[in-house]
Structure 1
Amino acid sequence: MIVLRNLSKTFVVDGQRKHVLRGINAVFPSNTVVALLGRNGAGKSTLLQMISGAMDVTAGEILTDGQISFPVGYAGSFHPELTGAQNTRFTARIYGVDTDALMSYVDDFAELGPSFHLPVRTYSSGMKSRLAFGVSMGINFDTYLIDEVTAVGDAAFKKKSQQVFQDRMRTSGALFVSHSLRQIQDLCQAGAVLEGGQLHYYEDVREAIAHHLRNLDV
């Protein structure tokens, strides 16, 4: 479970304050895949980074009773000068999992070939996403933070990614960001819509999708 209490985030841009999140209160239940919907710039990635601990909150707090993944798809997850293999090994040590087992899993899953042993700065955005998704799925988290990653790669890789994700969701939950409404309908049970700094939570993902589509029509 993840609880947001009076959560706010403000950025200062060119001397002007931009309020991305304004006093949000919400509960994301355990073992539930929640779609996070909103227009571009609504604050979806910002919220994921704050929940993961990668970004500080301006006000309020985030509480959880489980282990949360790093935000998969976030470019800052890995050190660019280290290789994919070195980043994987480092992540394994941070989360206290078997290093060799995670290395083997990611090497096989991400399909990076020799590039697994090259610096991450040489990777394309798709390669970084495959590495991030592989590392995340190779660790048993209570909640996974997923940002568009299952859409990366060819049809076979997408199918494999979705199967692994669904396997993990038998015992875990997730906050899931995707522009594919079909994918959201297939993978998510609940939904949350970010709009004007506020968050609207729906236990039925179809209601969240309907709210999101109304926003896009405005």
Structure 2
Amino acid sequence: MNAKSFESEEYWTERYNDPQQRRGQLFDWYIISFAKLADIIGPVLLQQFAVDDHDENNATNAILRSSPVALIDVGCGNSPFLTDAAAYVKAHCRSPLINEKVFIGTDFSEVAVLEQSQLLSRNTEVENMQVRFTHADARMTIGAEESSVAVVMDKATLDAVDCSGNEENASAVVSTCVKSLVPGGYFFSLTCRPAARRTETILRGITTSGVQCEHISTVSLNNDPVSPSHLLIFKRSAE
């Protein structure tokens, strides 16, 4: 298969229509679930629901609370990441905001979006929460307005885009993601590429976006020399 196929919506439609691709079952790329990342991402997600006037981060939290969108999973495929994240928030938070803020999964494949929407209708763990899935080309939109999202998650989507060798596409995806963040919002990128290479890709996209972001940290998730996994964390600068 030519890696450039990843640029094609038709490729992903065919992939999710293929019975051999576990259609009808949930699947996490790199076999890394939300549960494996919860200790890192969970506290960041919960920040936007916190109300504590004595918290030294209260000003930032107030901006995050004002975001209408809690989380966007870009290139969600048929992963349970988004609904697991929403269920985590529901289990760890009693703020009324949990039923007001939106959790969005976007994908290039309408087949994946339809499948996720059908599974969502039977998911009682996120009942009464604002969870939805939508079709989108992340080079142009991730399903939300600029400066409206607290957390954006890229879970292997940049890796797929990067396979085509088209740097402009990768930069466009990053630019769309970071522009959607509220000041103080977070962009997470899970990759199996070398951390330095992925950091370079993201920084190039940030430069294109015109948005100020800082690289907070890179977390190595395993020591597998054949297939290493890293979680890169960026934060949009407060304005």
TM-score (normalised: structure 2): 0.34
More strand by share: 1
* TM-score (normalizing by structure 1): 0.36
Bigger relative contact order, structure 1 or 2 (CA pairs below 8 A, ≥6 apart): 1
